[in-house]
Chains A and B, each alone.
Chain A
Amino acid sequence: MMSDRQQLSYIASQAADARLNVELETEGMTLNIGPQHPATHGTLRIIARLDGEQVIWAEPSAGYMHRGYEKLTEVRTFPQVTTLINRIDWLGSFANEVPFILAAEKLMEIEAPPRAQVIRTILFELSRIANVSLFLGDLGVQMGAITPVFLAFRDREYVLNLIEGATGGRFHPNFDRIGGLKDDLPKGWIDETKQVMKKLIGFCDEIEDLLFGNEIFQSRMRGIGVIPADIAKEYGLSGANLRASGVDYDLRRDQDIALSYDKADFKVWTHPDGDSWARCWIRLQETRESCKIVQQLIEQIPAGPVMTKVPRIIKVPEGEAYVSTENPLGEMGYYVVSKGDLGPFRVKIRSASFNNISITPWVLKGVYVPDIITILASLYFILGDIDR
Chain B
Amino acid sequence: MIDLSRSSWVVAPLSDTETTDADAPQALPGDGLREGIVDDLRQRIGDALIDSHIVPNDDLFVRVATDSWADTAGALKTAGFTWFSFLSAIDWMPSPYGKGEEDPTVEKEPIDMTIKQGVCGGETRMQVFARLTDLDRHVGITIKADVPDDKPVVDSWTGSFAGANWHERECHEMFGIGFNGHPDLRNMYLPGEFEGHPMKKDFPLLARMVKPWPGIVDVEPMPVQDEEEAGGDES
Chain A positions near chain B (C-beta within 8 angstroms): 62-63, 66, 68, 70-72, 74-75, 106, 205, 208-209, 212-213, 218, 222-223, 230-231, 233-236, 246-249, 253-256, 262, 267-268, 270-275, 277-278, 281, 318-322, 324, 331, 333, 335, 337, 339, 343, 346, 348, 350, 354-355, 358-359, 362, 387
Contact = CB atoms under 8 A, between A and B. Distances in A.
B72 interface: no
Given A270-B21, A322-B59, A337-B118, 10 more contacts: A62-B188, A71-B199, A74-B205, A75-B205, A209-B9, A212-B9, A236-B85, A273-B13, A319-B119, A355-B86
A209 B213 CA distance: 53
Interface in B70-115: 82-86, 88, 90-91, 94-95, 99-101
A359 B166 CA distance: 10
Interface stretch (B36-44, B148-156, B157-165, B217-225): B157-165
A268 B23 contact: yes
B142 A322 contact: yes
B2 interface: no
A23 to B, nearest CB: 34
Contacts of A387: 189
A246 B161 contact: no
B131 A234 contact: no
B90 A248 contact: no
B161 A234 contact: yes
Interface residues of B, number: 60
The 7 closest A-B pairs by CB, nearest first: A63-B189, A235-B163, A66-B189, A236-B84, A358-B166, A236-B163, A350-B86
B11 interface: yes
B6 A208 contact: yes
Contacts of B166: 354-355, 358
A249 B83 CA distance: 11
A106 B57 CA distance: 12
Contacts of A256: 28, 57
B14 interface: yes
Nearest to A249: B135
Contacts of A218: 11
A356 B90 CA distance: 24
Contacts of B174: 70
A254 B26 contact: yes
A328 B18 CA distance: 26
Identify which of A75, A213, A321 gathers the most chain B CB atoms within 10 Å of its CB: A75
For chain A, what secondary structure do more than half of its interface residues adopt (helix, strand, loop), or is it mixed?
Answer: mixed
B122 interface: no
Contacts of B28: 255-256
A321 B9 contact: no
A322 B14 contact: no
Contacts of A236: 83-86, 161, 163
Given A68-B198, A254-B26, A255-B138, A335 B21 contact: no
B20 A248 contact: yes
Interface string B1-45: 000001001010111111111110110100000000000000000
Contact of A333 (B85, B199, B205): B85
Contacts of B179: none
Nearest to A63: B189
B86 A230 contact: no
Nearest to B184: A59
Nearest to A213: B9
A268 B21 CA distance: 9
